[in-house]
Structure 1
Amino acid sequence: MAHVSPPPTLVIRPQEDDVPRWRRWLTLALFWLASLIVAVAVTWVWRENVPANGAAQLRTALDQANALQQRLAVLERAQQVATAANADLQREIGQRQEEIAGLRADLAFYSSLTRADAGRDGLAVQALSLAGERDNPRLFHFTVTLTQNLKPGQVASGQVRLDVRGTRAGKLVTVAWPDLVADTNAKGMGFSFKYFQQIKGTLLLPDGFAPDGVRVEADAGTEFGKSSRDFEWGDVLATPGETHAGESK
């Protein structure tokens, strides 16, 4: 019988630490010392570069920035107000210039009636103006100016009427005064003046009617006679809402 040797006995022993414990403590101490040096250096650099009253200066700068921002907002608002006021002023100047031009035209007209060398004319249709309504495209306000200087100081009286010519359904038609004022018995509007008068009234055009022109007829009887004049629609049509001052003399 063969002889078998017993298996070797295994013995487990703790491994000796290759690094001594004092070296590890020394390493930790060196790391702590290095971090302390860095902290001291950072603190020294910050104190050297940042003044002692840095926080106060920062608050002052912020206050100044806020004040400048508020001042800028005030200036922007003032600029907006000035721009709006300037626009209103320009519109007002434009309106006044239009009024002045109208007054000059009226003055020239009145002067022509009273000049010593003015021709002596009987009843005359001097002018016509029309103004449409914004809410009703068929409704128009008219102003007829009548004059006479043939017999100064004497009263010319009678009636004036308007007839409008144009197209309807592709045909040329004339709408007479009674149809324009919706009164079949109407013969015209009365007038009575010594030198001139502006007669105001309203016209209502038929539906589907496109106007081209207006004929104004004035009749003052046998003493002053009759007068008529034709106007192109586009020449006498004013802007909607425009008013015309008038008087009788």
Structure 2
Amino acid sequence: MTAVKGSKQYKLEVVPYRPVWRWTIRLTFVALAAIAVAVAHWYATKEALRFQQAALQERDQFERALADSRAEVERLQQEVANLRLGSEVDKVASEDVRNEVIDLKAQIAELQEDISFYRGLMAPNAEAQGLTIGSLNLLSTGVDRHYRYKLVVQQFATNHKLLTGSLNFTIVGRQNDLPMSLALKDVSATVDAMDIRLGFKYFQNIEGEMVLPQGFEPIRIEISARVRGAKPATVEKKFGWLVEER
């Protein structure tokens, strides 16, 4: 065969045709992929069950603590009643007992709120299912215009799945008698974006410290949370500016 001048000649190599070997390799890769998917599904299911069991155990602990606190309150109330029946009651001791009763009642109220929260997560009603903006607490730090905040965002569902999205936290008020709104990133050193990232199955706490600028008078807080995915949703809620003292 005459070669064309200047063209490059390549060597040819004959390899055996093995269709069974090729299909064996392909089926092996498919089997390995199927095994990897099965292992990932098993692990994800195991982790979800473990987290749910931990939440149920924590709820049971709160219920036991609530029962113990109620029993203690009844005992102290009976003690106060007995002291009042006596003719010689030490007023200081009685005042201490009453204060202890008040503290225990406050603890019971807090425990009842926690139990309601966990019950709602585990067994929500039909109307409450989905993304929910929960409680917002503002606490004075003792320093002028410095406050601690804690916001709870939660998912009420019978079958919890990972929710992803974002949240906007806006403080509405007035500056020099003019309307003004501040994003949380403008007053909190721990927040660096307007859209706060959300990613949770049961609930997510957003907390930190904020410092309001001089001359700004807060009126309310507006929260807007958005969920991405197959069923996108937006939830909004407004809170009055109510600060708890230390």
Verify: 1:240 aligned to 2:208, yes or no: no
Amino acid at match of 1:240: E
Aligned to 1:201, the other structure's residue is in SS state strand
Mapped contact 2:145–2:213 kept (Cα < 8 A): yes
Aligned to 2:229, the other structure's residue is in SS state helix
- Please state how far the C-alpha of 1:186 moved relative to its aligned partner: 2.1
Q: Provide the C-alpha distance between the structure 1 equivalents of 2:112 and 2:105, rounded to a whole number of angstroms.
A: 10
- Please state how far the C-alpha of 1:183 moved relative to its aligned partner: 7.7
Work out which of the two has the higher radius of gyration on C-alpha atoms and give 1 or 2.
1
Q: Provide the C-alpha distance between the structure 2 equivalents of 1:196 and 1:129, rounded to a whole number of angstroms.
A: 16
Tell me what 1:145 maps to.
152
Q: Percent identity?
A: 24
Change in Cα spacing, 1:202 to 1:159, as seen in structure 2 (3 Å) is: farther
Aligned to 1:222, the other structure's residue is in SS state coil
Find the partner of 1:98 among 95, 106, 123: 106
Q: Provide the C-alpha distance between the structure 1 equivalents of 2:195 and 2:97, rounded to a whole number of angstroms.
A: 43
Tell me what 1:221 maps to.
228
What's the Cα RMSD here?
2.8
Mapped contact 1:141–1:200 kept (Cα < 8 A): yes
Mapped contact 1:123–1:147 kept (Cα < 8 A): yes
- Please state how far the C-alpha of 1:97 moved relative to its aligned partner: 0.2
Tell me what 1:84 maps to.
92
Change in Cα spacing, 1:240 to 1:189, as seen in structure 2 (3 Å) is: farther
- Alignment coverage as a number of residue pairs: 158
Tell me what 1:164 maps to.
171
Verify: 1:197 aligned to 2:215, yes or no: no
Q: Provide the C-alpha distance between the structure 1 equivalents of 2:189 and 2:201, rounded to a whole number of angstroms.
A: 30
TM norm structure 1: 0.54
Amino acid at match of 1:105: E
Amino acid at match of 2:132: A
Gaps of 5+ in 2: 1-87
Change in Cα spacing, 1:154 to 1:166, as seen in structure 2 (3 Å) is: same
Mapped contact 2:149–2:208 kept (Cα < 8 A): yes
Amino acid at match of 1:143: K
Find the partner of 2:194 among 184, 187, 190: 187
TM norm structure 2: 0.55
Residues 136-145 or 117-126, more deviating = 117-126
Verify: 1:111 aligned to 2:116, yes or no: no
Mapped contact 2:123–2:158 kept (Cα < 8 A): no
Q: Provide the C-alpha distance between the structure 2 equivalents of 1:219 and 1:209, rounded to a whole number of angstroms.
A: 28
Verify: 1:124 aligned to 2:132, yes or no: yes
Q: Provide the C-alpha distance between the structure 1 equivalents of 2:173 and 2:183, rounded to a whole number of angstroms.
A: 11
